[in-house]
Structure 1
Amino acid sequence: MTVNQSLGGRPVLRVRPPAGGERTGRTVVLQLHGGGYRAGSPEPSRPLAARLSRLTGAEVMLPAYRLAPAHPFPAAVADGLGAYADLLRGGVPADRIAVLGESAGGGLALAVLLEAHKAGLPMPAAAVGLSPWLDLTLESAAFARCAATDPVLDRPSLRHSASLYLAGADPRTPAASPLFADATALAALPPVLLQASRAEVLADDAERFGARMTAAGGDCRVEMWDGTTHCWQLAVDRLPEAVAAVGSVAEFLTEHLA
């Protein structure tokens, strides 16, 4: 079942589990869509949200955060943080919230949690990034290595998105590129699961973030997949590889949510 509400002052698509499949006590997955911070909406993420809701028994809430160029950085971060804070204010315990995002939304999910830590808010139970964009400098070796194997993304298109979103801000700011968060901030994050395709140009974002968070003492699991492409998990109603990947995400969420 889906209904439309608002969260953090933004419209939100709310996906509920089937009748009888709900968890005891309200549990929420806050899901942030992709689109390079300049496009996208919750709607294309509906099949993924519905599958996660059914598998975990949690509500999935997808806010329509503001987009560049009309609303550059840090508008998206402020909207995501506002949504998370609204859930807490609404009485959902932090250990019954997970934050998940795909592509730019995966980077945004972690950026929101870094800002939540700075603001003194409790951390959620877990976070998930699906093919996350975590480094807006676009300097990783995967852009050259995977140029011929990624049919979705390339450096020029991401450079354009980053330029519109940053609007002159430093791409190494952790709220824009979580890869550059310091060790103290990384250690404060909840358990994180990252999934990426070895064939995509963002492959190194996931692996480098996982290595940095683990070195800082945090709990970060990185799953690198073969035979897939950027954000294949969104095709959970069509691809067996997406079904398997989303099943792994659901197991992770179920393990950590109270």
Structure 2
Amino acid sequence: MNTHTPRILSAIFRQLQSRPSLENVGIKEYRDSLEKSARTFKLDPAIQFHPFPSGLVDLQNIYDWLVQSTPPTTRISLVGDSAGAGLGLAFLTSCFNRNTPLPACAALMSPWADLTCKNKSFETNQGKDPMLNHKQLAETARLYTNKSLCHPLVSPLYNTFKGFPPLLIQAGENEVLVDDSKILAEKIENAGGKVTLEIWDGMFHVWHYFARYLSQGQKAIKVIGKFIQQHS
């Protein structure tokens, strides 16, 4: 899930195109059907018109369609960045609550998991992250919902993380949201989950966007591709 651009998902698909299981079902047809279904997804720029829980409901519907439209042996992986990664976390909890089979694994890039925006890295990394700042995120959070920002499906950091699949979390050392990733990984581990946390030196919020220019972006995406291959 990417609320900004399809480039990251496309890059990861390229990483996986050599997999026999995807070739058997037809990677082009599978990818085209995913992109077609994703056109109805209520993205972040329209957040004031589609507040919580619209995006979560859409994601549940798309996932249910995927489960019903693929062979029973298909192992679905979840990939999300920024607010999309936070939505993905809420979705995993929703799957558990609905008794729906969970994805085989999840890869999260710079997740925004706590919409209260109170973690210390907002102060320590202010001015270091060219992508985000506290004011911007606090205003966006209030557009997203008028419910409590501590609601576990709004701020997944307040979840119990029961039954979560293996997770890979990547965050940049200099991003204002880096504490979200650190606290998230600690909570998942304490809940008995399997989580890999990577803090990339000198990187900012979702540096993956700039993989065309940054070798760190290319390397991070390759790590995600390998992680998905290992778990699906």
**Whole-Å separation in 2 of the counterparts to 1:209 and 1:87:** 27
Partner of 1:96, secondary structure, is coil
Higher strand share: 1
> CA-to-partner distance for each residue in 1:99-142, whole Å, 9 max, x for gaps?
11110011011111111111110111101110110000111000
One-letter code aligned to 1:33 = N
One-letter code aligned to 2:8 = L
Shift of 1:237: 2.3
Shift of 1:94: 7.1
**Aligned-residue CA RMSD in angstroms?**
1.5
Where do residues 218-257 of structure 1 align in structure 2 (5 Å cutoff)?
A: 218-257=193-232
Unaligned segments of structure 1, at least 5 residues? 1-31, 35-39
Partner of 2:112, secondary structure, is coil
Where do residues 47-66 of structure 1 align in structure 2 (5 Å cutoff)?
A: 47-57=7-17, 61=34, 63-64=38-39, 65-66=41-42
**Whole-Å separation in 2 of the counterparts to 1:109 and 1:94:** 22
Q: TM-score, normalization: structure 2? A: 0.87
* Number of residue pairs matched by the alignment: 213
Residue pair 1:88, 1:94 contacting (<8 A) in 2 also: no
Give the ranges of 4+ consecutive aligned residues of structure 1 lying more than 6 Å apart after TM superposition.
none
Residue pair 2:96, 2:162 contacting (<8 A) in 1 also: no
Residue pair 2:93, 2:162 contacting (<8 A) in 1 also: no
Pick from 142, 164, 189: which aligns with 2:121? 142
Where do residues 121-136 of structure 1 align in structure 2 (5 Å cutoff)?
A: 121-136=100-115
Higher helix share: 2
One-letter code aligned to 2:147 = A
User: Which residue of structure 2 aligns with residue 114 of structure 1?
Assistant: 93
Shift of 1:152: 1.1
Residue pair 1:94, 1:125 contacting (<8 A) in 2 also: no
One-letter code aligned to 2:2 = H
Pick from 141, 144, 149: which aligns with 1:171? 149
Percent identical residues = 31
Where do residues 79-228 of structure 1 align in structure 2 (5 Å cutoff)?
A: 79-93=58-72, 96-166=75-145, 168-182=146-160, 186-228=161-203
Shift of 1:95: 5.3
Q: TM-score, normalization: structure 1? A: 0.79
**Whole-Å separation in 2 of the counterparts to 1:93 and 1:225:** 36
Partner of 1:210, secondary structure, is helix
> CA-to-partner distance for each residue in 1:58-105, whole Å, 9 max, x for gaps?
555452421411111000111111111110111344751001111001
